[in-house]
Structures are given as structure tokens and as C-alpha cells.
Structure 1
């Protein structure tokens, strides 16, 4: 008789249990081709289950081809049903998920680029969502156009002209699933193997990775406290694009002055290349007036990328790409091949959120909160480290740079710091040419409350002090 361990305490129906256990034995060869299965009546008696349970399990096996039924003879294992078993991967339950581990250890992470998620305007978003879901036409639930809803593109073009000096028609905007998709579209749109890409160094490692996927060649230009050193742009090269973060250089935080912006535009015109402007963190500027976009100076040579991940939430996966007019149609096709379109209903909610002034009010509110957290982080660093730290890049954005001149943030030191319940991120991770910023770390503060900031800085100081004693 076929022994099958039925477990009535499980949520899995008995029919499914019988089917799965017989299927597994057929696949691993314990039940071989041509072998006869017990009759449904005999097996139901043996397992003390209804005969209908066995009948339905056998029917499922028959439908999938695991068994064959012979009139008057019974049910037999079909030919060609053995599958050699490979080593099983670990159970998902046994995997260590970093997020859960950090929660258990009360880890304080100074990761950059994360907004205050607990301050997302939920009530306003929910109210607008309710209105949109109840008022929209049934046709809106169907497939949409790849470049994005016209309602969002129209309101976005007006908003960006007002706040960032971006000069564009709604038709030049392609709505994307965050800045990452926008960058991926740019790489597919402009680059081929062995094309030259000029970029700031350091620059976020994710962007380097995206451009490398096209087998392009990265040409790094160093940055200083004002951003890319445009005087070092190569005169004897023919780049396809120059990638820059002019409003808030990542990670060092400089703002590109007008003289260097003009140098970049003249360079792009002379070499017939494009400038790709990532308007990173520009909304949260704490020192001086807002800085206008580079795109507004030359819309036909600049591709402009923006995102709502830092302003609102990364979970929205909403960004945009603004293109010179002659690249629009090709980009629309690439977007269609990528994902057909960005979720339509979320676009309509965001359009209403911007159009009714909620976004500007939210940014104004958050600027005050982030500035307060930034000032508190600077105060904690200066008090805790007795003014032995140098702090850079604090005029804009959700992170700052800390330099401890006597330290090299090696893998060993970073792992040592993490054992004290705090995680920091080295600038060196984002460099193309290595060994230039080994004594600098990135400290993100947007998502941390004051008590977490204070605790994190104290832990960091304790870890470094103990590391000095250890060595």
C-alpha cells in the first residue's frame, strides 16, 4: 500500500496534500513509470479520507500527465515523468534579511536619500485617491500611453518652470518608474558599446552601473566644493554624454556656478554631445536662494531627470525624464518596450497633488524639519568629536559628508562600527578613481529623528574610539 503522511492540522486541503505527495514521488522516481497506484477505494480506506478526495487527486495527476488510466486495469505512473533532483536552495525562512536583522539589533542607519517616511501626507493622499478612484472613467482602468498621463505632464511642466526654471512642453516629458528607469532609458537611448561617458567623480555607484551595462567607457572628472571641475573636460575626446548633478552634487554636495554651467553647454555644443542633468535633492536647499536648472539654459542639449522618491516616498516609484524634442518619439518606444506605461491611477493622484498646491506645501514643511535635523546632526558631531571633524555638503539635500582626517574607512573599520549598532556609508564606494576619499563618510539624516541622530553619533564615536584602542 502507498503510505502518504496526511496532516489534518495544515491549511492545505487534503486533496492537495494527496496530489502533491504522489506527484513528488513520481518526479523523484520513488514511483516508477508503469507502476500501478492503489485503487481509489483502497487508498481512501488506508488514509481514512473520503474516496472523493482520492478521486480528485488522481484526476489532477491524470490532467497533468503524471498518470494514465487503463479501463478495467487501474491507474499507472506515466512514461517520462522522472526528473533528476538537484540540491535544494535554502528555505526562504532560513535566509537572513538585512532589514529584519537591523530592527532586531536596533541598528541606526545613516543611509542617504531616504525621506521622513512617517511624515508622508497620508490623509491628503488618501483623500485624493478616494476622489480619483470614484470619479474617473472606466476607460482609465485600461492600458495607457507610455509617456504618461497628459494631466500629470501638463501640471508637471508648469510646476517645474515655476520652481526649477525648466523650459519644456508637456510633450517633452516621459513619466518613469523613478529616476532609475529614467537613467536606464537614457543609456538605451544614447549609448552603444565603447561610447565615452563623462561623469563626475565621485558619483553614485548605481549610476555608474547603469551606464556600464551598455559597455560604455566611463571618463571621470574630479569634483571640488563647487561640483564638476569643468576646466578638466577633455578637448580631444568625442563623448556621447556628460552626466552631472549640478544643483546638488552627489555625494559631496557642491552646487555648480553659472560659469561652469556655461562651460558645459559650450562643450556640449562643440562636441555635439548631450548633458544629462540629474536634479538630485534640489528641492531641499537650506543656504541661499533656489538654484535654477541647467536645462533652462539649453533645452535642446540637456536631458533632465527628476524623481519624487526623496520629496515624497520611494514607494511611489514615480519620476520623469525631459527630452530634447528630436529624442521624444524614440524614447516613447523604449518606454513602451520597458513596461508599457507607469501606473495610471498613481499618476492621476500625483497630478492632483501637485496641481492643488499640496506638493509645494509639503516641501515647505519638510524643509523646516530637515533643516532642523541637519543642524542637530552637525551640533552632535561637533560636540561629540570635539570639533575634530570637517563637515561638507550640508547646504542642500538629505545628507552631509563627514571627514575624519586621521581615519581610513576600510572594510574592517566599517564592519567594526556596525557592531556598535550604527551603519555609515563611505564616499569611496561611489568613486571611479579610488583612494581619494577614504577618510570621508556619508551621513543621511532625513529619515532619522533627533534621538536617533544623537544615539547614532554617540555610537559612531564609541566605535571609533574602541577601534583606536584595539589597534
Structure 2
């Protein structure tokens, strides 16, 4: 008798459960070629299901070739349906998964670059999204252009001119699936085996990986309290491009002053290379107005990257590239080869969201909230650690740097802190190219943490470091 356990409490339909279990037994050799399966009525009776459940499961197995029917004889396992099983991956049981979810809920995660997910403007976004679906022509549901919707590119070019001092025509804009795709497009556009990129050190580890993936090398320029030390750029170097985060250096958080910006542009002109500017969260500046873009100083020399992941939500997967006219066609071709185009409905939704003023209102609202969280984080660090901690890079963005006296952080130390105290902190050293310079510094993101979580997290950190 064929015994198949079924579970009526599961979301998986009974037909699928019967089909999957017979299929698995055939593939694993538990049911061999030529074995006779029980009649549908008999199996249905044994399982306590309707006969239709078993009939449909058998029909599916028959259509895929696992079983065969023999006229007047019955249903049999077909030849050639056994697959030798390789070493199996261990999957979490339901209990383990449930425990993992509980543990995750207990962890306080100081991840940087993550906005307040609970503050996403759901109602406004939902209303606009519904309007877009209802009001637009049928053509919106077809294929689009790789550079993105013209509506969004027009609105975005005006918005960036007003808020970031960016100078561009809509035709210079390419809408991307987040900043990561923008960075990948740049790597494909510029780099090949043996090419060199001049880059800040430290800088995001992920960016290092993207830029070295074509076989290129990184030439690091150290960062101090004013960003990239442009006086250390060798005058005879000929990089493919220079990568900077001038408005809010990641991870150290500093701003590149005008003197260094000019030095950077002068070098790029002499070396006949481009500058790639990543402007990832500079809208949230807590002292004065946001810093104007580097791109505005030399639009023909600077490639500008922006994203809505930090302003609104990473789930949107919306970013953009602004390119000098000489690079736009080649970049559009690369974008087409990558994914044809970024989803059109989301593009039209964000276009209306910006055009109706919702984005700037959201930024003003969130700036107050993030400033309160930043101030509370600084207060907690000072209360718990006193003069043993120095706070850096806190004027802009969603994270700050805590530099500790007489404490060095290693991967193992961070792992122990997570396991014993349920707190995630992040090493500056992870993002360095030349190692050993920032081992006493950690990155503390506060965008997605409440006041209470920030306080409890810093208390746990103190317990971990005592």
C-alpha cells in the first residue's frame, strides 16, 4: 500500500501534495520503474480525499512522463524517471525557521543606509499608483525605452536642478533599477581587464567588488576629515575614472570642500578621464542646506548617480544616472542588454510623486525625524562611553561613525557581540582597501531604529565592550 501523508492545514493544495510526494519517491528510486501505483479510488479512500484529487495528481505525473498507463492493466512508474541524488542541502525545519524569525526580531540592527521603513508614505503612494493604472493609456503596459519614461526624466531633471544644482537635459538621464545597477552600468561602460579606477579609501565594499569584477584594479586615495585627499593624487596617473562621494563620504561621512572639488576636476581634465559622483543620501543634511553636486561644476566631465532607496525605500529599486552627452547612447545600449527597461508603472508613480510635491514634503518630514534619532544616538553614546568615544561624520545622512579609544574591532568580535548581545554593528575596516587604519571605528546607522531601540542598542553595546 502506498502511504502518502497529507496536511490539510498547509497552504499547499492536496493535489499538489499528492503529486509532489509521488514525484519525489520516483525521482529518489523509492518507487522503481515498473512499480504499479494503486488505483485512484483506492488511494483516495486511503487518504480520505475525493477521487478527483488523486486523478488530477496522476494526470500531472502522466503529462510529465513520471508514470504511464497500460490499457486494462493499471498505472505504472515509467522507465528513466530515477535521478541519482547528489548531496542534499540542509534546509531549516519549520521550528528552526520560527526560531530564526524570533531571534531576528530580538536583534537591534544598526545597518546604515536603511530609511525608516515604517514611515514610507503608503497611502499617498498607493493613491498615485492607482491613478497611474487607471489614467494612463494601454501602451504603458507594453515595452518601454531603456533610458526610462520621458515623463520621469523631465520631472527629475527639473527637480535635481532646483535641489542639487545638477545641470542636465532629460536625454542625459538613464533610469536604473537602483544605484547598484547604475554602478554596474558604469563598470561595463568604462572598465576592462587591467584598467585602473581611482577611488576613495575607505569606500563601500560592494562598490569595490563591482568595479573590480571586470578585472580592473583600484588605486586608493586616503580620506580625511574633508573627504578625498586630492593633494595625494599622482599627477601622472591615467585612470578610467575617479569615484567619489563628495556630499557625504561613505563611510566616514565628510563633505568635500570646493577647493578639493576644483582640484579633482582639474586633474580629470588633464588626465582626460571622467569623475563618477555617488550622491546617495545627501538630502538629509542637518546643518544648513544640502551641498550642491560636483556635477554642476563640470557637467561634461562628471557622471552623476542618484537613488530613491535612501529617501523612500530600497524596495522601489529606482535610481538614475546622469551622463555627459558623449556617453548616453552607449549607456542606453548597455541598459537595454541588461533588462530592457526599468518598470514603467513605478516610473510614472515616482514622477507624479515628485511633480505634486510629495517627495520634498516627505524629505522635510523625515529630516526632522532622522535628526531626532541622530541626536539621541549621540546622546546615548556620550552617556554610556563618555570621552572613550568620538563621533564623526554626523552632519548628513542616516549613519555616523563611533571611534573608540583603546578598542579594536575584528570580525570575530562583531560576531560575538551579535551572538551574545543581539546587536548588529558594522566595521569601517570592512570598507577599507588598505587595511589597518580604521580598526577602532564602527558604523552606526539610525534611520530605521526608534528612539527606544537606539537607547537599548547602545546599552547592549556597552555591556558587550565592558
| Same fold by TM-score greater than 0.5 | yes
The 1-side partners of 2:309 and 2:220 are apart by 27
Decide which moves more: 211-220 or 47-56. 47-56
Aligned to 1:174: 174
Could you say if the C-alpha distance between residues 267 and 22 of structure 1 is closer, same or farther in structure 2, counting changes exceeding 3 Å?
same
Q: Go from structure 1 to structure 2 and tell me whether the alpha carbon gap of 1:246 and 1:122 turns closer, same or farther (over 3 Å shift).
A: same
Residue correspondence of structure 1 range 105-184 to structure 2 within 5 A: 105=106, 107-184=107-184
Q: Which residue of 1 aligns with 2:456?
A: 455
| Partner residue, 2:425 | 424
Deviation at 1:71, TM superposition (A): 3.5
Match status 1:332 vs 2:332:
yes
Instruction: Call closer, same or farther: CA 1:441–1:31 in 2, change over 3 Å.
Output: closer
Q: How do 1:374-413 and structure 2 match up within 5 A?
A: 374-413=374-413
* 1:417-454 deviations in Å (ceiling 9; x for gaps): 33223222111111000000011111112222222222
Which stretch of structure 1 is more off in the superposition, 236-245 or 21-30? 21-30
Aligned equivalents of 1:18 and 1:102: distance in 2? 34
Change (3 A) 1:146 1:74: same
SS at match of 2:387: coil
Counterpart of 1:225 in structure 2 is 225
Farther-moved stretch of structure 1 (147-156 vs 86-95): 86-95
Aligned residue number for residue 213 of structure 1: 213
Q: 3-state SS of the aligned residue for 1:192? A: coil
Bigger mean CA deviation after superposition, 94-103 or 148-157: 94-103
Q: Which residue of 2 aligns with 1:276?
A: 276
Within 5 Å, which residues of 2 pair with 1:7-406?
7=6, 9=8, 15-38=15-38, 54-93=54-93, 100-105=101-106, 107-406=107-406
Change in Cα spacing, 1:15 to 1:222, as seen in structure 2 (3 Å) is: closer
> Shift of residue 37 of structure 1?
4.3
Q: CA deviation at 1:13?
A: 5.2
Cα distance, 1:40 vs. partner? 5.2
User: How big is the shift at 1:252?
Assistant: 0.8
* Offset at residue 125 of structure 1 (A): 1.6
Asked if structure 1 preserves the Cα contact closer than 8 Å seen for 2:28 and 2:84, the reply is: yes
Query: Which deviates the most, 85-94 or 281-290?
Result: 85-94
Q: Is the 8 A contact 1:6 1:14 kept in 2?
A: no
Q: CA deviation at 1:318?
A: 0.9
1-structure distance, mates of 2:5, 2:410? 55
Contact 2:8 2:14 in 1 (8 A): no
After TM superposition, the structure 1 stretch with the greater mean CA deviation from structure 2, 22-31 or 399-408, is: 22-31
1:469 match: none
Question: Would the alpha carbon gap of residues 47 and 196 (structure 1) be closer, same or farther in structure 2, given more than 3 Å must change?
Answer: closer
> Aligned equivalents of 2:367 and 2:13: distance in 1?
55
| Secondary structure of 2:219 counterpart | strand
How big is the shift at 1:257?
A: 1.1
Change beyond 3 A, Cα 1:373–1:28: closer
- Shift in alpha-carbon separation, 1:89–1:378, aligned structure 2, 3 A: same
Deviation of 1:23 (Å): 2.9
Query: The residue matched to 2:113 in structure 1 has which SS?
Result: coil
| 184 and 99 in structure 1: CA distance in 2 versus 1, 3 angstrom threshold | farther
Report the aligned-residue RMSD.
2.4
The answer to whether the 8 A contact 1:249-1:280 is kept is no
Match of 1:199, SS? strand
How far off its partner does 1:79 sit?
A: 2.4
Count residues in correspondence: 463
Whole-Å Cα distance in 1 between the matches of residues 99 and 428 of structure 2?
21
Give CA deviations for 1:166-199 in whole Å, capped at 9, x if unaligned: 1100011011111111101111111101110110
- In 2 relative to 1, CA 75–100 (structure 1 residues): closer, same or farther, beyond 3 Å? closer
Q: 5+ residue gaps in structure 1?
A: 466-471
Q: Given the two structures, how large is their TM-score scaled by the length of structure 2?
A: 0.92
Cα deviations by residue, 1:255-286 (Å, 9 ceiling, x for unpaired)? 11111111111111111211100012211111
Q: Is the 8 A contact 2:6 2:18 kept in 1?
A: no
Instruction: Kindly state the Cα deviation for residue 350 of structure 1 after the two structures are TM-superposed.
Output: 0.8
Shift in Å at residue 53 of structure 1?
A: 5.1
1:359-379 deviations in Å (ceiling 9; x for gaps): 112212222222222222222
Cα deviations by residue, 1:274-333 (Å, 9 ceiling, x for unpaired) = 110001221111123432111111111111000111111111111111111121111112
Go from structure 1 to structure 2 and tell me whether the alpha carbon gap of 1:45 and 1:204 turns closer, same or farther (over 3 Å shift). Answer: closer
Q: Would the alpha carbon gap of residues 54 and 211 (structure 1) be closer, same or farther in structure 2, given more than 3 Å must change?
A: same
- Name the residue aligned to 2:443: 442
Secondary structure of the corresponding residue to residue 385 of structure 1:
helix
Q: Please name the residue that 1:468 is paired with.
A: none
Give, in angstroms, the shift of residue 412 of structure 1. 3.6
